[in-house]
């Protein structure tokens, strides 16, 4: 673990504050032109953008009072937003120069697309390797030797329904299926062809978007419908713990992308639980889980031990099976990591 310079940490805090402010003011998504289409005698409105040489369109709604009011709010929000966007681009460039972790171009493009679809406002949480990479800037450190990324972008959502996000602004199923002129996705065929896909390949790239949701109750193997997003997701055991209390994070690159990630402490303890559950065929993944958990515990035990204590308390209250798995995962860590966690959690 290496500490980022204080100036770099300060710049990251400023980028995150600006992205949060942009979302609050409605200027967080990419500006575009408002265009109309007439289909079978009815008029529909879209936001149209030109990105990476391709025309993108986001469906707003039919030509009615509600959609016209939405269009008016969008235009007002975009007015004067470009100077702020350029300032965030400069902030990102300064962050990279100061040693901050930058998101890969393909990841940034995909996650910008998801952010514009407002899936994070609808309760989605970025998990997996991309979340771990984001923690470097969140915690003001760098991860030497732990920066390798996978080509999978894991997006998780609980089964609860978030209130206050207009469905018409998050037409995720339709956009994944057809792209609507935007990024093109190909569904990954499931093992059981009777089930809907829960994974999508971003055409022309190795990137794959995996949609996940907690497995609650009896074990099940088929996908689950996540009503808030209207998509099928693969249920995974223990995921509900890591999704609780998710926090905002800024991905560095271009003008930044605002996402939601688990709290670092819950992510670390969840990795211990998952590592203990990995079968023999997934020991390489188990070692990666342990390495990520150890790196996070090292930083948190020094800077934010209370976070580890709170996360551990939340874990053990879920039952003896949870603490047994977490301790089994901790047994795979080195002695220093085990001592740090025990000191923080009592």
Give pLDDT tens digits for 283-336: 999 999 999 999 999 999 999 999 999 999 999 999 999 999 999 999 999 999
CA–CA separation, 29 and 75 (whole Å): 12
Q: In sequence order, what DSSP letters do the residues of 89-104 get, joined into one string?
A: HHHHHHHHHTTPPPPP
Q: Which pLDDT score, from 0 to 100, does residue 320 have? A: 94
Q: Rounded CA gap, 326 and 74, in Å?
A: 47
Q: Average pLDDT, stretch 220-239? A: 83
Chain segment 23-40, per-residue pLDDT in tens = 876 665 666 788 898 988
109-112 contact pairs (CB < 8 A, 24+): 109/52, 109/183, 110/153, 110/183, 110/202, 110/207, 110/209, 111/153, 111/251, 111/257, 111/259, 112/30, 112/254, 112/257
Cα-based distances in Å from 182 to 29, 138, 341: 14, 30, 45
Q: How far apart are CA 233 and CA 246, in angstroms?
A: 19
- Please, how many CA atoms are within 13 Å of residue 19, restricted to the half-sphere of its CB? 28
For residue 170, what pLDDT is reported? 40
339 pLDDT more than 80: yes
More confident residue, 313 or 146: 313
Q: How many CB atoms lie within 10 A of CB 121?
A: 18
The residue among 270, 152, 165, 265 whose CA lies nearest residue 212 is 152
Half-sphere exposure of 207 (CA within 13 A, CB side): 22
Neighbouring C-alpha atoms within 13 Å toward the C-beta of 23 = 22
User: 49 or 335: which carries more pLDDT confidence?
Assistant: 335
Please say whether the beta carbons of 186 and 201 come within 8 A: yes
Torsion sign over Cα 61, 67, 68, 69: negative
pLDDT digits (tens, 9 = 90+) for 200-218: 888 888 889 999 999 877 7
Give pLDDT, residue 171: 46
Q: Is the pTM of this model over 0.85?
A: no
Domain boundaries, the chain: 2-262, 263-346
CA distance 109 to 250: 14
pLDDT (tens digit per residue) in 242-260? 999 999 999 999 999 999 9
Contact 202, 185 (CB under 8 A): yes
Instruction: Give Cβ neighbours of residue 316 (< 8 Å, ≥ 6 apart).
Output: 322, 323
Q: Which of these, 284, 282, 272, 337, lies nearest to 311 by C-alpha position?
A: 272
Which SS3 state, helix, strand or coil, does residue 29 take? coil
- Does 1 have pLDDT greater than 90? no
What confidence score (pLDDT) does residue 174 get?
Answer: 54
Are the beta carbons of 121 and 23 closer than 8 angstroms?
Answer: yes
Q: How many residues does the chain have?
A: 346
Rounded Cα gap, residues 296 and 198, in angstroms: 29
């Amino acid at each position: 673990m290496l500490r980022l310079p204080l100036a770099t940490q300060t710049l990251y805090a400023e980028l995150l504050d600006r992205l949060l402010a942009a979302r609050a003011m409605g200027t967080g998504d990419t500006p575009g032109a408002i265009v109309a289409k007439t289909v079978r005698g009815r008029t529909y409105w879209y936001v149209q953008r030109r990105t990476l040489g391709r025309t993108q369109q986001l469906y707003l709604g039919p030509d009615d009072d509600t959609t016209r009011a939405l269009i008016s709010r969008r235009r007002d929000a975009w007015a004067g937003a470009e100077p702020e966007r350029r300032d965030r681009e400069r902030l990102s460039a300064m962050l990279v120069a100061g040693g901050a972790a930058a998101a890969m171009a393909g990841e940034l493009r995909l996650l910008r697309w998801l952010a514009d679809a407002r899936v994070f406002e609808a309760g989605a949480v970025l998990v997996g390797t991309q979340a771990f990479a984001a923690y470097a800037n969140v915690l003001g450190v760098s991860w030497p030797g732990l920066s390798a990324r996978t080509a999978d972008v894991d997006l998780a959502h609980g089964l609860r329904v978030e209130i206050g996000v207009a469905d018409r602004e998050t037409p995720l199923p339709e956009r994944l299926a057809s792209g609507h002129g935007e990024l093109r996705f190909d569904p990954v065929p499931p093992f059981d062809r009777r089930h809907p896909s829960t994974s999508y390949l971003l055409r022309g790239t190795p990137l794959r978007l995996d949609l996940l949701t907690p497995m609650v109750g009896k074990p099940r193997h088929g996908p689950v419908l996540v009503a808030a997003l209207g998509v099928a997701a693969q249920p995974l055991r223990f995921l509900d713990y890591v999704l609780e209390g998710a926090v905002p994070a800024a991905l560095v690159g271009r003008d930044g992308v605002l996402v939601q990630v688990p709290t670092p402490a819950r992510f670390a303890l969840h990795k211990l639980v998952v590592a203990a559950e990995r079968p023999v065929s997934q020991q390489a993944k188990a070692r990666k889980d342990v390495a990520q958990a150890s790196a996070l515990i090292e930083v948190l035990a020094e800077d934010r031990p209370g976070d580890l204590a709170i996360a551990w308390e939340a874990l053990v209250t879920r039952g003896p099976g949870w603490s047994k798995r977490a301790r089994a995962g901790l047994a795979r860590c080195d002695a220093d990591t085990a001592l740090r966690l025990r000191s923080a959690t009592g």
